[in-house]
Amino acid sequence: MSGGFTYHGGALAAAARHFGGQDWLDLSTGINPTPWPGVIEADWQRLPEREALVALEAAAAAHFGVSPEYCCAVPGSEMALRVIGQWLGRGAYRWPSYRTHAAAFPDGAAGDGPGSTRAFLLANPNNPDGRITPARDLQVWHDDLAARDGWLVVDEAFADATPEVSLAGRVGEWPRLIVLRSFGKFFGLAGLRLGFVLGPEPVMAMLRGILGDWPLGAGALAAGHAAYRDGPWIAQARRDLAARAGRMDDLLASHGFKVLGECPHFRLIEGVDSLFGRLARHRILTRPFDYDPRWLRLGIPAAQEDWLRLDRALGNG
């Protein structure tokens, strides 16, 4: 029943076609359910100015804690991962993780560490299990890779909510480190397709040469610049995500589910072979996994009526 929904989250139209009904609650992704509320003005008739890109990268770099010279804006970190994979060639990736990680290194191997490969890619916090890898372990891996001209690539798509786990400030200091960041997940605006790659000069030069003079549209430039400068909203969003994650833990535990992970954007539960279909019958879309049918990942609601709806569906066996 869940086969077509195991590749990635967000297939809400497919769920409506398959299961029927309207008014779906989408918990299949880890996107912040309360998006940045700012209003932007963008000139849709003119090509974006170079100064707007520079301003966006400076605002994002300040948020990440890295020098702007090491920050390149891209039209989504998913696309950038594929480009970096092609540039690096053969590499390994930690599994389980994003499907895109396997796509970035299609001839690579999955493992818990770099091994003898030239590049190693992992997510931190990881998806789907939410585990966080300590910086000391990442430094050991980086130094091992750097000693043989290799690269450590860390996908920090979910790191905005827990900035203490980020390696962004080590970019430049660690010469063979590449960090990817996502705008849409934390700010709740995934449709903008905005991301960033942080890395040393050779990485920046490679990406800018591929992306050309207008890598982003006017809307992404304006929204990203304003959102990254909105310190009060960022601080409140971090508190809200943590509070909702705690509430989710309590709700799932009250229904007897074991909760895995530390990422406040989502929760992974196990021992749930039939739960995807049961929730879908209540028009709640979650994320199952073909490689482990015992797992189910749930995004975290915001509205009170959505919490009540999820509670009722979990209790209705």
Decide if pLDDT at 228 tops 90: yes
b/e map 185-200, b = 16+ CB within 10 Å: bbbbbbebbbbbbbbb
When the pLDDT of each residue in the chain is averaged and rounded to a whole number, the result is 95
pLDDT digits (tens, 9 = 90+) for 283-305: 999 999 998 999 999 999 999 99
Give the whole-angstrom CA distance, residue 161 versus residue 170. Answer: 18
Report the topology of domain 50-229.
Aspartate Aminotransferase; domain 2 (3.40.640)
Task: With H, G, I as helix, E, B as strand and everything else as coil, classify residue 213.
Answer: coil
Q: Name residue 267's beta-bridge partners.
A: 298
Task: Name the residue with higher pLDDT: 86 or 5.
Answer: 86
Domain regions of the chain by residue span: 3-35+232-315, 50-229
pLDDT score for 217: 97
pTM of this structure:
0.96
Level-2 CATH architecture, domain 3-35+232-315: Alpha-Beta Complex (3.90)
Written as one string, the DSSP assignment of 127-158 is: TTT-----HHHHHHHHHHHHTTT-EEEEE-TT
